Chains A and B, each alone.
Chain A
Amino acid sequence: MVESGPDGLPGLLVEAGERGVIVRGLGRSYGDPAQNAGGTVIRLPDDLPIVLDRNGPVAHVGAGTSLDRVMRELVPQGFFVPVTPGTRFVTVGGAIASDIHGKGHHRDGTFGSNVERFRLMLADGTVIEASPSNEHAELFWATVGGMGLTGVVLDAVIRLLPIETASCLVDTRRTADLDEVMALMESSDAEHRYSVAWLDLLASGRHLGRSILSQGDHAPLGAVPPAKRSSALEFRPHTFATVPPIVPRAGVLNGWTIAAFNEVWYRKAPKLRTGQLQSLTSFFHPLDGVTHWNRLYGARGFIQYQFVVPFGQEPTLQRIVERCSQVRAASFVTVLKRFGAANPSPLSFPTPGWTLTIDLATTQPGLAALTQELDAWVLEAGGRHYLAKDAVTSPEVIRAGYPRLDDWRAIRDKADPTHRWQSDQARRLGLV
């Protein structure tokens, strides 16, 4: 792995052998999209200034810049990123390549949908500026969600969201089962900018899919107690725990510990609480508070399985939750979300429908057979899987889930005829 600014990139592209080049952000993808066995992995430095234009409002940011830094610099000035995932530790370039989404997808769309333009270095070292409205619009959308296989984004102009405080007003609701939470999301998502549900995947019978629905909006200044208004935009994320590197090989997350955690987590959630003031970090990035939380899964790690099924395919979602409960799939973080409209990118994951995210230790018995079974159900329902999370699916599953894969390939082949951009995932899933 080498770190290189834009000036050094053309040289690295020329030097790289047949195994090609991929750019890595902060390495938080769950699978292998930013790995490149036998080839070159490049990291862009995080040294460009963040330039704020209050009139947009937009910010000009380097691709290697983390959303953590963007928030630390811009939140105190009254601006928030248009989309944040469950962690701040992703880069702008990675957010574009994976076309990430957050709790606000039903309203704000993906990260890529909120990018005005970016500069892209192609495989031959030339740099173009791409936007959805210029002559490179096709390449713009092929790069959004393109997993870094069209070129390297050098910097981008992203739209910002004006905020009055660094807090959110959050409604929390405990639901008895899956039907209730889905009905609630359908009826109330439109009223909130952010909405997501945590599921107890181990619950069964009449408790199947019992959830905690959390919906929020940015808090206006008036919602903050008068004494704290002068510091309402202070952004002070802190970590409160670190998982030491001495976790037993098998990890500490298993059916028993997760069932116990789920029980406590569910019970401690209020039946209904509205208008609670929460900091941006505790609302959006609870896991960032625990450094190296991934170690809890032990040496063999875990997979994150995320799919979307279109609206109208609720029975498939129900069936999948039932199946996971039946085989006691011990998922620590299970998240349900309703997606809004898709964008024009051929490989962007979100499409209108329900997306479910499941974390499972790779030591979970029968996991390969389970994911294969779920793959088939998801495809049957017209759904697809998220490339940024995938580590276990097959070329056939991706081809079936992304009907415009060949369109993307055609655009990529024009931009990178010799396939200089490669990754382990691209090889595993037949994207190159």
Chain B
Amino acid sequence: MENAFGDPQTIVLLGGTSEIGRAIVDALVTPAAGCVVLAQRDPATAGSAEYAESLRARGVDRVEVRAFDARSHDEHQGWMRELAAEIGDLDLVVLAFGVLGDQATFDADPAAAAVAVDTNFTGSVSAGLATAEVLRRQGHGRLVVLSSVAGERVRKANFVYGASKAGQDAFAQGLADSLVGSGASVLVVRPGFVRSKMTDGMDDAPFSTTPQVVAARTVAGLRSGATTVWAPGILRWVFAVMRHLPRSVWRRMPR
């Protein structure tokens, strides 16, 4: 149960190795936090034990790294129900898993593109619905969905990723609306280009940001009860314009 400051007691990070996801967890671990669950495909991923230890050092009594595969859609409901039965109410679930991929690779290997969409979109659908079921029953709790500006208007440079994020974003908005009145809520976070290991080696795009900025924007959104936040915030206004550019101009965007 959140306290009067809006500090969660239990936090679940779906995509336990996500840098943005971890930055959000770091920003939300307060003395009130008693339990953090890091859900990731391979609990033995390098650095996971160290990250879990860093949370314990900050006073979180119970930190667990659990196996969770975004593509094992048929397991998500059972996984989430089991988790709630075991640790009690889930105050905050951060849906942070996702793969960026490379458009040229996808062009050459359509099956690989389908795998990426399966993770980013289909995985978000099954994990999001499984989470919503638990939150609805609790009558409270928040789901943070890490979307992307890439889905706001899909660019030719990464349109498979963009399309998967567009689908995920639309799904999250619908889910948010369906939860109104239940006590549970969804916050959609739309970061721009984030410098992290996901984008390692790529050139910075305009309005590049960091996982910490995305985390700060997310926390501010949770505190204010927002339904959508952009990171950095100016992207909201940038995309208010970009969204309406003629296709002939939009397709000439360099990347």
Contact = CB atoms under 8 A, between A and B. Distances in A.
Contacts of A39: 139
Contacts of A38: 136-140, 183
Interface in B20-53: 30-32, 34
A87 to B, nearest CB: 19
A61 to B, nearest CB: 31
With a 10 A CB-CB cut-off, give which of B30, B32, B183 has the most chain A CB atoms. B32
Interface stretch (A127-135, A202-210, A389-397): A389-397
Nearest to A249: B224
A32 interface: yes
A424 interface: yes
Contacts of A427: 1, 88-89
Given A38-B140, A428-B9, A362 B4 contact: yes
A36 B139 CA distance: 8
With a 10 A CB-CB cut-off, give which of B1, B7, B136, B137 has the most chain A CB atoms. B1
A390 to B, nearest CB: 9
A428 B3 contact: yes
Contact of B4 (A37, A303, A394, A395): A303
A362 B5 contact: yes
Contacts of A428: 1, 3, 9
Interface in B49-100: 88-89
Contact of A37 (B3, B5, B88, B139): B139
B9 A367 contact: no
Given A301-B4, A367-B5, A424-B1, A394 B34 contact: yes
Interface string B178-198: 000001000000000000000
Interface in A390-432: 391-395, 424-425, 427-428
Given A368-B30, A393-B3, A428-B1, 20 more contacts: A19-B139, A36-B139, A37-B1, A37-B183, A38-B136, A38-B139, A38-B140, A38-B183, A39-B139, A368-B7, A372-B31, A391-B3, A392-B4, A394-B32, A394-B34, A424-B140, A425-B1, A427-B89, A428-B3, A428-B9
B112 to A, nearest CB: 42
11 contacts: A19-B138, A31-B4, A37-B1, A38-B140, A303-B4, A362-B4, A368-B32, A424-B1, A425-B1, A427-B88, A427-B89
